[in-house]
């Protein structure tokens, strides 16, 4: 419970910092909004309805290992897992996970990332789609699982081309607004069906492609009401029929909403990092990355690999800011894309202050270095 309060407090403080920042800083941040791969084709497109091409495929749906723990406290803690400060336990690679045909050194890279992620709190840890409903309403996934699934869907629909912090603000806006209108559950199917598109658009106006997403939310809620008794369907084919929902969102929705391990949710961070580390072949298609990862990554890691790598890509290995001087992949020679200039000398006080002011406070990684916990 303490870890939940920590990440909830971090989420609120992150939003407050954004509101108190100078206008110029806000504009710079908004100009570098991360593009989620699933909707990357929408960049520069006019905001009007478009025909979506739905990718359907036969998938083997299996239950997620220890899913009840995944939803509540992260992943069940074993001897091979790292006790984190961010409320989510990520499993390390076990000997039984290794097999022929896997990329060289993948397990070493994976385990180093797990160790680093356990030392920092990233935006996805409290404001990521699967965490957000419980951050806004503690223990929602346990007390009202159907409502949790619905709010998970909405947070996923809003997430494309939108930072987690802005998605969190939009979800807060909707919750407060709907409660004020008499919907005690806040963001629920009844509230959205009773709202106009323009009303929804005003509530989510800071997210990317907000007008289109307002329309998608309305249509998705009508479809859920008419075809699925107001709940989230349990198969990927039905999920991706919902407007605005593609394979990435669909697999995450099934994993964290139903505990069904239908596939890996590949976003821009996973797509970039998997290619950087040689885990997959170079490709512009996230679906190609997903299929190749699924061909060798142990199925028990499918659900955790998204929040694990998303948080790492948001902070330590950000596409726009090099932090190789605090990354053990660089110090241990496990990454080929290292910024050598950052490794030439000790970390200065000015550099340390910059590390503290990023999307996550990375100073604990420096503290590990000074304490001799890692060998830089």
Catalytic positions are 248
Q: Which helix (H) or strand (E) holds 54?
A: none
Residues 243 and 263: beta-carbon distance below 8 Å: no
Is residue 83 classed exposed, middle or buried when 0-12, 13-18 and 19+ CB atoms within 10 A define those classes?
A: exposed
Q: At what angle do helices 164-180 and 2-20 cross, to 10 degrees?
A: 100
Cα(274)–Cα(281) distance, rounded to whole angstroms?
9
CA-atom Rg of the chain in angstroms? 20
Cβ atoms of 117 and 110 closer than 8 Å: no
Closest CA to 309 of 266, 338, 361, 254: 266
Compute CA distances 47 → 137, 198, 204, 286, whole Å: 32, 14, 14, 23
3-state secondary structure 64-108: CCCHHHHHHHECCCCCCECCCCCCCECECCCHHHCCCCCCCCHHH
Phi and psi, residue 234, nearest 5°: -105, 5
**Gap between the Cα atoms of 90 and 311, Å rounded:** 12
CA distance linking residue 180 with residue 198, whole number of Å: 18
How many CA within 13 A on the CB side of residue 247?
A: 21
């Amino acid at each position: 419970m303490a870890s939940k309060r920590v990440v909830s407090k971090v989420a609120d403080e992150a939003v407050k910092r954004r509101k108190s920042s100078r206008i110029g800083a806000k504009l710079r941040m908004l100009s570098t909004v991360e593009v989620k791969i699933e909707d990357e084709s929408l960049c520069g497109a006019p905001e009007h309805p478009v025909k979506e091409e739905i990718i359907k495929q036969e998938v083997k749906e299996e239950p997620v290992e220890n899913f009840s723990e995944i939803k509540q406290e992260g992943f069940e803690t074993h001897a091979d897992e790292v006790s984190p400060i961010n409320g989510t336990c990520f499993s390390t690679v076990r000997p039984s996970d290794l097999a022929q045909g896997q990329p060289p050194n993948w397990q070493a890279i994976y385990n180093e990332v797990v160790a680093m992620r356990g030392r920092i709190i990233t935006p996805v840890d409290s404001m990521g789609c699967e965490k957000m409903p419980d951050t806004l309403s503690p223990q929602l996934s346990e007390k009202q699982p159907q409502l949790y699934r619905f709010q998970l869907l909405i947070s996923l629909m809003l997430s494309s081309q939108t930072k987690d912090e802005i998605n969190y603000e939009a979800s807060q806006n909707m919750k407060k607004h709907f409660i004020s209108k008499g919907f005690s559950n806040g963001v629920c199917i009844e509230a959205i069906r009773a709202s106009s598109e323009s009303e929804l658009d005003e509530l989510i106006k800071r997210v990317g492609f907000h007008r289109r997403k307002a329309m998608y939310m309305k249509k998705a809620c009508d479809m859920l009401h008419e075809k699925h008794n107001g709940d989230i369907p349990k198969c990927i084919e039905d999920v991706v029929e919902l407007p605005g929902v593609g394979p990435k969102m669909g697999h995450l929705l099934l994993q964290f909403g139903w505990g069904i391990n239908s596939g890996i949710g590949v976003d821009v961070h996973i797509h970039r990092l998997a290619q950087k580390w040689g885990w997959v072949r170079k490709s512009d298609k996230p679906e190609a990355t997903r299929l190749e990862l699924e061909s060798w990554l142990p199925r028990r890691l499918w659900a955790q690999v998204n929040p694990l790598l998303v948080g790492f890509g948001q902070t330590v290995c950000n596409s726009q800011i090099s932090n190789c001087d605090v990354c053990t992949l660089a110090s241990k020679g496990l990454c080929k894309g290292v910024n050598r200039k950052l490794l030439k000398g000790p970390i200065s006080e000015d550099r340390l202050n910059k590390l503290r002011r990023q999307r996550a406070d990375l100073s604990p990684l420096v503290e590990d270095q000074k304490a001799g916990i890692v060998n830089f």
